[in-house]
Structure 1
Amino acid sequence: MSAVATHPPAQAAVPASMLQTTDRSSTSSTQSSDTLFDADAKLDHTAHKPWKHFGFRRPQHDADSKTGVEERSASDKRSTTFWTSFKYLSNLTTKQVDDYMASYAIYDLDWADEPAMIRALGTDYKQKVGDSLRAYYGVMNHLCALGSVEKMYIPPLMDKRVSVLDNQLLYEESIARDLGLTPGDRVLDIGCGRGRVAAHMAKYSGAHITGINIDPNQLAQAREWNAQQGLSNTFVERDQNDLPLPFADASFDAFYQIQAFSLCQDLPAMFREVYRVLKPGARFSFLDWVRLPAYDAANPEHVALMRRVKPLIGAVGTPTPAGLEQALTDAGFRVTRSDNASVGGLQAPLIDRVDVYFRALRQLILAMVRLHVLPKHFKTLINRLCLDGQAFVKMDQMLLISTSYRILAVKPYAVATSLACNEASR
């Protein structure tokens, strides 16, 4: 075993404010941020000028004279992305469509009920789930790219006054601040999708992102997009449930994931692996789906809503905030924040915006299918995508579930110090 320094380098020291646990225990898991602009996460719009960082075109009327909030436009290439995905979906084979539709079967299951998994999928259920996820995301990433969720996640409601895309950007920038990212930091991103978040994170902070994803189609797009942006981010094809992770101990300065662990089979094992590949003092950022304390498994309405929403958001497991906090603590992390990242605790305003858009798009697509302008499988795809958006809104409003639950944690230096002392005493 190699020697470990007894004192962390000064430049990597974790600020005391990060180590303070501020009334965010599992007993108050439904507690939310009251506002984006709290003391430790205030966003200075004028300081960052993100449209300059990313080549975004600043709208002529992007400043609200009353609020001073800038509405940042999408990339100039969003229309190109839309049509690229539209053409891809038009050329899907019958097998691709059938495999995509069949993949929804896994969302009727739960990792916690292995006997049911085996009954439905057989003893090789892990492989079957992986195959289903490839089929699902191979199509879903292009469906999402037809709207404002190209990054395949609805963000926390950070600011009611701006778009879904801008709320994504605001949340991603908050991750960079929470992680304390600086130029040259090596950051692990599990469930990196099409690499858009990684590109934003790298441009915003100067860090180098290593992304993992199960879908080769998304990874090809991630590599192409990041190369076009002049970025050297790395993307690895890997099923997150295939542990251990393919990285050496203490390889990364930070870690984040956005709504990817809803597909993780063994979260305690995953947290141990992330802990292993992080350096002492490294920070951990989690945003994902949780089942909140108000959910009652004995309530027929709650159960019926859950059956509808899990396929929509792509969730196999149903973790709770308390369970996640305990698993992180058991893995060695120190949890520093655990709350709902959405202002007021509700993501519903953004969920509803996305749902309204896709339902309008659905009407257009159905009309084009009837006129034989689009192939028939477009009807199948858009009908499935738009099936349960309002059930998602309802569950969020009832505080039964959330896909904007945030947990921040840190890998303590104390472990490194203890190991070093043990080495010295031998």
Structure 2
Amino acid sequence: MSAAAETIAPAPAQPPTADVTDTPRSSSTSSDDVSTLKPAAQTSWKKNKNGLQHAAINRTASPKRSKTFWKSFKYLLDLTPKQVDDFMASYVIYSLDWADERQMIETLGPDYRQKVGDCLQSYYGVLNHLCALGDVEKMYIPPLMDKKASVLDNQMLYEESIARDIGLKPGDKVLDLGCGRGRVAAHMAVVSGAKVTGLNIDPNQVAQAKEFNEQVGLENSFTIQDMNELPLPFEDNTFDAFYQIQALSLCKDLPRLFAELRRVLKPGAKISLLDWVSLPAYDPTNAEHAELMRRTKPLIGAVGTPTPQTFEKALADAGFTVLRSDNASIDGVQAPLIDKADVYFRSLRQVILGLVKVRLLPPHFKTLINRLCLDGQAFVKMDTMRLVSTSYRIIAQ
């Protein structure tokens, strides 16, 4: 059924109370077509010709992959030389770190925060379409919640765990920082009945989030906003909850942002963070570790290199109480999912390079796919060595 023909608001449903086998429970364990929206089913597995799927996952707010692929492919096909050049130039910020302000100024100038924001718009304006050619349209590798499940299913399992962790219920207002194309917000609204307000620095993604939201008939809203430009455009005590997924390495001043979040959240509201961290095993004086970090940060789009303690202290200083701080992945390792995504995009790269060679695709496709596929195995190695993770979870109140 075409969403243009009929949009049906979801019946509010509480997130499934699925127990995901082996999930760590404490910090000691390290123009898309959509179907009619409906509440999630009870937790169970089902088989189909593609293998096992979680029957509990409500997939009705997910776009058809083929439609998303071709829409993004067309966008990439029509990129201007300036868009391609700006995208490639934006990677300079991932060789920097918020902790080294001197290097920031030397490289970008005294207005480096504005320059970082400009780079992020150039970067994400193209990257979101590259990611949509595969299973990472939401632009994050999720925690490994189930070893049998796909990247996409692990994303949705994690998102439903967020709704449980922050206690979302029908009618709640929840803030999503770094909302991307609004796909996570759509899933969150469908499984919980909450209304999501999404913030993102990239106008291209915000426009897509609004379009998708209208198609599926939800009441979410989306605003262009740089998290480093405060205050946030909301009154005190506006939101019942907050979540973000892998966005905070782009924040220059975590204590200030968390203080601002506390202002716009209602008393007692819970927040969920999932983010990139360096772990105790990482040693910046170790040449191998430093080289792996140099290669991995551009791949995942990280500016800062926080530790779990960085987040915990900034939250405490802003008046939050940390309720949970752990790695959300089974055994604290994401590598199987990182590798799945890497294998897919490297295979796609071979197809694209072949089509460029015979002039069926313009040369800039080679430039883009080569950059996207660079150093995926460095990320796998860092995760396997437990030097870093992008699946570190903190729940606070």
TM-score normalised by length of structure 2 = 0.88
- Report the 3-state secondary structure (helix = DSSP H, G, I; strand = E; otherwise coil) of the residue aligned with 1:276: helix
Measure, in 1, the Cα distance between the counterparts of 2:119 and 2:348. 26
Residue matched to 2:369: 382
Q: Does 1:170 align with 2:165?
A: no
Question: Which has the larger displacement, 240-249 or 132-141?
Answer: 240-249
Q: Which has the higher helix share?
A: 1
Instruction: Specify the SS of the correspondent of 2:42.
Output: helix
1:63/1:125 CA distance change after superposition, 3 Å:
closer
SS at match of 2:188: helix
Match of 1:296 in 2: 283
Which of 90, 101, 104 is the aligned partner of 2:77?
Answer: 90
Distance 1:143 1:388 in 2: 16
- The residue identity in structure 1 corresponding to 2:202 is D
- In structure 1, C-alpha distance between the alignment counterparts of 2:293 and 2:300, rounded to whole Å: 11
SS across alignment from 1:293: coil
1:90 and 1:369 mapped to 2: Cα distance?
12
Q: 1:217 to 1:76 in 2, by over 3 A?
A: closer
Letter in 1 for 2:376: G
The Cα shift of 1:76 comes to 6.0
Cα shift readout 1:251-287 (whole Å, capped 9, x = no counterpart): 1000000001111111111111111111111001000
Structure 1 residue 164: deviation in Å?
0.5
Which amino acid counterpart does residue 222 of structure 1 have in structure 2?
A
Aligned residues: 362
Match of 1:3 in 2: none
Distance in 2 of aligned mates of 1:171 and 1:367: 36
Cα deviation for residue 48 of structure 1 reads 5.8
Match of 1:314 among 301, 305, 329: 301
Contact 2:334/2:391 (8 A) holds in 1: yes
The residue that corresponds to 1:180 in the other structure is: 167
How far off is 1:196 after superposition?
0.2
Structure 2 residue identity aligned to 1:320: T
Change (3 A) 1:346 1:297: same
Unpaired stretches in structure 2, ≥5 consecutive residues? 1-24, 31-39
Residues 1:337 and 2:313 aligned together: no
The 8 Å contact of residues 54 and 153 in structure 2, kept in 1 or not, is answered as no
Distance 2:340 2:85 in 1: 29
CA contact (8 A) 1:71 1:163 kept: no
Query: For the Cα contact (< 8 Å) 1:62–1:71, is it kept in 2?
Result: no
8 Å contact 2:176–2:197 — kept in the other structure?
A: yes
Whole-Å separation in 2 of the counterparts to 1:202 and 1:49: 21
1:40 aligns with none
Q: Which residue of 1 aligns with 2:358?
A: 371
Name the residue aligned to 2:127: 140
Q: Displacement of 1:323 after TM fit?
A: 1.6
Q: Deviations over 1:149-203 (max 9, x none)?
A: 0000010000011110000000000000001100100000000000000000001
Q: Which amino acid aligns with 1:346?
A: V
**Equivalent in the alignment of 1:247:** 234
Separation of aligned partners in 2, 1:46 and 1:131: 43
Partner SS state of residue 89, structure 1: helix
Indicate conservation of the 8 Å contact 2:241/2:271, yes or no: yes
CA 76–172 in structure 1, closer or farther in 2 if over 3 Å, else same:
closer
The residue identity in structure 2 corresponding to 1:153 is Y
- Offset of residue 248 of structure 1: 1.0
Distance 1:182 1:48, change over 3 A: farther
Aligned to 1:327: 314
Which residue of the partner structure matches residue 42 of structure 2?
A: 47
Cα RMSD of the aligned pairs, angstroms, is 1.9
Q: How big is the shift at 1:134?
A: 0.2
Normalising by structure 1, report the TM-score.
Answer: 0.82
Report the equivalent of 2:344: 357
Q: Is the 8 A contact 2:43 2:55 kept in 1?
A: no
Moved over 2 A (4+): 58-64, 68-76
Give the Å deviation of 1:61. Answer: 4.9
Identity of aligned residues (%): 69
Q: Partner letter of residue 306 of structure 1?
A: M
